[in-house]
Amino acid sequence: MMEETSKELPSEELGAGRQTYRMLVVDDDMRICRFVSRVAKNLGVDATLVSDSRDVIDADSRLRPDLIMLDLSMPGLDGVEVLRSLAGARCMAVICLFSGADLEVIDGAVQLGRALGLRMASPLPKPLNVGKITDVIIAHKGECEGVEPTARDLEDAIREGRIRPHYQPKIELSSGRMVGVEALARWEDEKVGFIPPSIFIGLAEEAGLIDSLTACITQRAFKEVVGLEGGGRKLGLALNLSPLLLTDVRYPDRVLDWARAEGVSPDRVTLEITENEALKDRSRCLDTLVRFRLMGFHLSVDDFGTGFSSLAHLYALPFEEIKIDRTFVADLGRNEGAETIVKAIVALGRGLGQAVVAEGVEDAVTARLLGQLGCDVAQGYYFCRPQELEGLRSFIGKDGPWPPSASTLAASSSSAEPDEGEPGRGSAPVIEDQPAIRYLQRLWHQLDPARRTGPALSR
C-alpha cells in the first residue's frame, strides 16, 4: 500500500528533463517515514513515503526518484529482496539503506547492492536523527543538482583560492580540552554550487591536481592556524594527505618549506593518511613517511578499520596515531560489535604506543563511552561541526560541556530517537558548517513561498 506523498506530483513533471529532485522513503514504520519526510521538506525536497515494500518497484518506475532511503528490515519483502528487484528494474536512484541491524549485515547488503550494479550510498545506522538524514540529502542533492564539476573547474577553483580549509576541533577526552583541529577542504562555487570533498578529492587525484589542491589547503591552514591557542597552548593541526603524494620522496621538503614560511613547528602538525592502493608500494611510501617523521611531523592512519587499512601497514609504517573510522563510532552504545571493535583498536593503539582518535562523535553518550573505553581524543558534530576560521575562534572562546555532565547525557539520550512530533515541530536542522548553511538557505529561498511550511533556515 502506498501510504503518503508529501506532494502530489503532476504527471508532466515525471517526463525527461525534469528538474525537481525527488526521494522515496521506504519503511514499514510510518513514523519513521514521516520523520524523514519532514527533514527532507525543510531542505526543499519532496519525499514520497512507502510503507509496503512490495510497492517500491511501482513507485520507482512512476516517480523516478533521485534518492531512495530504504529500511533493510521489513516484513513481507525485505530490503535485500527489494534491492534485487530494483536492480532488475534498472533503478537509477542512489540508494541509502538504513537499519538497526548489525554493521556487518548492513555492509553485506551494501556490497550486494553494488554487486548488482546499484548506486549504493553509505548506509545509515538506526536510530536516525536530523543530522544524519540532512547529511545524506545535502551530499547527494549537491552532487545531483550541481553541474558536475570538471577538472578545469577544479583547476580554476584551486588557482583562484576558492577551495578553503574549514576546521573541526579535536577534544582530549580525559581533560575536555581542545587540543587541535582537523582541516577539511571545502569548495563552494557560484558556478557549480556546494561540492562535497567525496567528489572533488577523487577528481583531484584522477586529474593530477591533488598536489596543487593540497598545497592550497596546507599553506592556508598553516597561515590561519599558526597563532591559535587553546587553554594557553598552541593548537595542533591535522591535515589530510592523499597517499598518492607519498610516492614522491621529496614531498616532505615541500611541506616543511610551507610550515617554515608560516612559522609553524612540524611537531604541531599531524598528517592523516587514508590507506589505499598507493600504500601498496610500501618501500617507497616508507621513505617518505620516515622523512616526515624525521622532520618532526606526526603521522596518523585515517579511517582505521575500513577495508583499506591493514594491520601490516600499522606494523610496518611509522604511524603514531590511529583514527577509528566513524562507522564504528556511530554505532557505539547501540551495537555490541562496534564496542568490541573500538575496544580492540584502543588496545591495539596502547600496545603499539599510538594515540587513538575517534571521529564522527554525534552525541554525549558516545563521547562519554569513548572516554571510558580509553580513547584519547575525539571529534564530531557533538562538539562542533567543521567551521571557517571565524567560527572556530568563537568555539575556542566557549567552554564546552566536555566531558558531558549527567544532565547533558540525559537530555541527549532522550532526544536520540526520532520522536513523532518532536522534529516535526518544524525545527530546522542545526547545521553549523557554513557552506552547508548557505546551501540550505539558497534552497530555502528557491522554494515557492507557498511551500515554505517550516521556519526559515538561519544560524
* Distant-in-sequence, close-in-space partners of 41: CB < 8 Å, separation ≥ 6: 6, 47, 453, 454
Check residue 305 for interaction with ligand C2E (CB under 6 A).
Answer: no
Task: Measure the CA–CA gap between 142 and 152, rounded to whole angstroms.
Answer: 19
Of the residues 240, 288, 327, 354, which one makes contact with ligand C2E according to CB under 6 A: 240
Site residues, Ca ion (CB under 5 A): 240, 272, 302-303
Check residue 392 for interaction with ligand C2E (CB under 6 A).
Answer: no
The CA distances from residue 417 to 169, 298, 325, 332, in Å, are 26, 39, 23, 15
Check residue 188 for interaction with ligand C2E (CB under 6 A).
Answer: no
* Minimum distance from residue 139 beta carbon to ligand C2E (Å): 8
Check residue 197 for interaction with ligand C2E (CB under 6 A).
Answer: yes
Task: Measure the CA–CA gap between 239 and 319, rounded to whole angstroms.
Answer: 14
Of the residues 66, 71, 135, 376, which one makes contact with ligand C2E according to CB under 6 A: 135
Span of 19-27, 51-59, 355-363, 399-407 interacting with ligand C2E by CB under 6 A: 355-363
Find which of ligand C2E, Ca ion, none residue 198 binds, CB within 5 to 8 Å per kind.
ligand C2E
* Minimum distance from residue 240 beta carbon to ligand C2E (Å): 4
Contact 166, 389 (CB under 8 A): no
Find which of Ca ion, ligand C2E, none residue 310 binds, CB within 5 to 8 Å per kind.
none
Span of 45-53, 340-348, 353-361, 414-422 interacting with ligand C2E by CB under 6 A: 353-361
Task: Measure the CA–CA gap between 60 and 14, rounded to whole angstroms.
Answer: 11
Look-up: residue for cell 604541531?
268
The CA distances from residue 235 to 129, 168, 180, 276, 397, in Å, are 31, 12, 5, 29, 13
Helix (H, G, I), strand (E, B) or coil at 167: strand
Find which of Ca ion, ligand C2E, none residue 201 binds, CB within 5 to 8 Å per kind.
ligand C2E
* Minimum distance from residue 274 beta carbon to ligand C2E (Å): 5
User: 273: how many CB neighbours lie within 10 A of its CB?
Assistant: 28
* Distant-in-sequence, close-in-space partners of 337: CB < 8 Å, separation ≥ 6: 102, 103, 104, 331
Residue ranges in 118-171 assigned as alpha helix (H): 130-145, 151-159
Of the residues 66, 189, 224, 302, which one makes contact with ligand C2E according to CB under 6 A: 302
- Name which of 66 and 303 has its Cβ closer to Ca ion: 303
Binding residues for ligand C2E, rule: CB under 6 A, are 135, 168, 184-185, 196-198, 201, 214, 217, 240-242, 272, 274, 302-303, 326, 359-362, 380-381, 386
